[in-house]
Chain A
Amino acid sequence: MSETQMKKIRAPFDEATARSLRAGDRVLISGTILAARDAAHKRLVETLDRGEPLPVDLNGAVVYYVGPSPAKPGEVIGAAGPTTSGRMDAYTPRLLDQGLKGMIGKGYRKPEVVEAMKKHGVPYLAAVGGAGALIARSIKKYTVLTYEDLGPEAVAAMEVEDFPAIVVIDSTGDNYYETGQAPYRRS
């Protein structure tokens, strides 16, 4: 795949970017994305349940489901591939209501998440699972924003440059896991 075939986009996502992405598009993301996974999602939703404001602004935010390995001295971050998105499904619709505009992870999403994505015009992208060393090269800065006690599960801002991903489910609900697999199914 040459870089010319890849769409360059910026994060946070504006409305036009979020809705322009199509299932199967390969993209390179630059800008700022938010790192958050299981325990952080749980706390964010518990905060909403208590009627309190969130400690981070989700308006236009693109969340990356990641729990990086620790940075070696002098490095920005350790290995930083995506974790399984399905574990976040229970919390995702609530965060989409808060303005979340994009998600990066790996694996299937529940139908109710896809419905909420369509309602809010939000795409879901996949990074290559396990390619933690390769992806780390596109991460230029990692700053913990909140929930520091969660260690690798803390919420952090990540400055990225040409972060590689592929649009799996777009804001219309088209699913590349389905359309991509179908031509190769032999049974």
Chain B
Amino acid sequence: MKEINVEDIACAVADLAVRACCRLPQDMVDGMRKAHEAEPSPVGKNILEQLLENAAIAANDSIPICQDTGLAVIFADVGQDVRIVGGAFEDAVNEGVRRGYVDGYLRKSCVAEPLFERKNTRDNTPAVIHTRLVPGDSLRLRLAPKGAGSENKSVVKMLVPADGIEGVRKVVLDAVLAAGPNSCPPMVVGVGLGGTMEMAAICAKRAAARDLESHNHDPRYAAFEEELLELINKTGIGPQGLGGLTTALKVHVEWAPTHIASLPVAVNINCHAARHAEVTL
């Protein structure tokens, strides 16, 4: 049984928040460079140049890539042979978010309640935490800040089995077309299939937060990822919606077993600032 102190968790989360917001992951930078070479639209090409320059300035000056430093979404894989000591796990994660966002000069975008007063909590807490209990004695924390410009374009649709692959294609494409320039393309599109309504949404969020170069382990789903990407890049939306062939850099699909009568589909769109950072304690 390995002991992990909550203070170490808080420190790690604070560091992840600043790192994720200010440093675009290398795989995203590489993906954007590749897209820049291939993009035929001069305006689209210029925008990709500006985005690469923006990422370089952000990393160099340690300021956020995008002013919308999002809600802090945390995927925590907790080893079942880990014992967390010194306090509560979720309090520690939130303490880390508070330190990262306040001390790191990140924008605090969280309101305490959604409908009436919408008062800013002023420290970007609470985080959205997805915890899984997994084998082993380590704690893996992945932080993926999510801005609202792209998050607001998310879709959950409950299809039926007869809708099949064609139905899924349509849901994904409709979501991308509705998002257009609003979600700051080039996008990374996370698609969640199966499970129940909420499971599909979590799958889509995990998919959107994946490393750019990764693909689904099942070759059939990996091929579907490629097919969806091609379809999306035929829309002409392009970088920032001003036209071009780079509407998305990648489509990631995650799936879960589902009910005999269901085919849930969730689409979570990430903007070009598809940020994430990870640590294992």
Contact = CB atoms under 8 A, between A and B. Distances in A.
Interface of A: 1, 39, 66-72, 75, 78-81, 83-84, 86, 106-108, 126, 128-134, 136-137, 151-152, 164, 166, 168, 176-177, 179-187
Given A69-B107, A166-B43, A180-B243, A132 B234 contact: no
Interface string B99-124: 00000011111000000001010100
Contacts of B66: 79, 81, 129-132
Q: Which residue of B43, B147, B149, B271 has the most chain A CB atoms within 10 A of its CB atom?
A: B149
Nearest to A130: B66
A129 B41 contact: no
A83 B68 contact: yes
B243 A70 contact: no
Contacts of B47: 128
Contacts of B238: 180-181, 184
Interface of B: 40-44, 46-47, 50-51, 53-55, 57-58, 61, 63-69, 105-109, 118, 120, 122, 147-149, 152, 180-182, 184, 231, 234-238, 240-245, 271-273
B242 A166 contact: yes
16 contacts: A70-B107, A78-B63, A108-B181, A129-B240, A129-B271, A130-B51, A130-B68, A132-B65, A133-B65, A151-B108, A151-B122, A166-B43, A177-B180, A183-B236, A184-B244, A187-B235
Contacts of A80: 67
Contacts of B241: 107-108, 177, 180-181
A126 B181 contact: yes
A156 to B, nearest CB: 13
Nearest to B49: A1
A106 B184 contact: yes
Nearest to A71: B105
Contact of A106 (B42, B50, B181, B237): B181
A128 B67 contact: no
A177 B243 CA distance: 7
Contact of A128 (B68, B231, B240): B240
Given A137-B57, A184-B244, A130 B107 contact: no
A67 B107 contact: yes
B107 A107 contact: no
Contact of B243 (A132, A134, A152, A183): A183
Contacts of B118: 39
Contact of B54 (A126, A130, A168): A130
B57 A133 contact: yes
Contacts of B55: 133
A129 B181 contact: yes
Contacts of A177: 180-181, 241-242
B236 A69 contact: no
Contact of A132 (B54, B148, B180, B182): B54
A69 B50 contact: no
Contacts of B272: 130
A131 B51 contact: yes
A160 to B, nearest CB: 15
A130 B68 CA distance: 8
Contacts of B181: 106-108, 126, 129, 177
Contacts of A107: 149, 180-182, 241
A185 B54 contact: no
Contacts of A136: 63
A149 to B, nearest CB: 9
A186 B237 CA distance: 11
Given A69-B107, A176-B242, A181-B243, A132 B236 contact: no
